[in-house]
Amino acid sequence: MKTFHATAIPETLAEIVDPKHSCLVVWDVQNALVGRVFDQDSYVARLAPFVAELRAKLPVAYTLITPLPPAFQGAWNTYSAMRRMGVSDPAQLKPFLVPGTPAYQVPEALAPQPQDLVLPKSSPNLFLGTRFEMLMRLRGIQTLIFTGIATEMGIESSARDAGARGFFPVVVSDGVSSMDQAAHDRSLLNLAKTAIVADMAAIRAALA
């Protein structure tokens, strides 16, 4: 740890992910998405014990994609959904991640616990339309450790914004996934330049 202009600057991964000032983010790990990631056969089994281990040491925050009513989605969101779903008429869009449905839920092995923070949100950015930043500041959180789906979408945009807001963004390379492995791989390369990218083993060692 170094001090610069009265500010403590962490140097090692252990200092950066110190449980006293870190929070684990489990981003959009919902059944509808888990069933589509490129490593769906192993993803939940790999992530569940990691989340449980970190929960014993630091706070955990879950995000859940919770779409707005269609009349409030906005043109860009509707256009994006049409492109993603391969339809030319917005009336053909099917309901997506409806609260209360199995598709909306987190897999049982990864289910949030009573002490966890659960944030419904409609944006691919952790800070837009949520009280997340305020809640983290109140807890004295400095580091956000990102896991979840999808790497090149909400993970990358939220990690970049976290850094812009003064948080230390840490992306767990084998704790994030995507429907597109090539996009996932490119995103991790990008994030290595704008955030801290480390695998579960490195995080575990740093927290030991």
| Residue 56, pLDDT score | 97
Task: Determine contact, residues 136/80, Cβ cutoff 8 Å.
Answer: no
- pLDDT average per 10 residues of sequence, the chain (208 residues): 85 96 98 96 97 98 92 85 86 84 96 97 94 97 98 97 98 98 98 97 97
3-class DSSP state for residue 148?
strand
Radius of gyration of the chain (CA): 17
**Does the CA dihedral 146-149-152-158 come out positive or negative?**
negative
DSSP helix/strand/coil, 3: strand
The predicted structure's pLDDT at residue 204: 98
3-state secondary structure at position 159:
helix
Q: Angle of helix 181-194 relative to helix 156-164, nearest 10 degrees? A: 10
Domain 7-68+106-207 fold is Rossmann fold (3.40.50)
pLDDT of residue 14: 97
Strand partners, 149: 177
Q: Which two tokens stand for residue 35?
A: 């069933």
Burial class (CB in 10 A: 0-12, 13-18, 19+), 194: middle
pTM: 0.93
Q: What is the pLDDT of residue 92?
A: 82
The pLDDT, as a whole number, for residue 88 is: 87
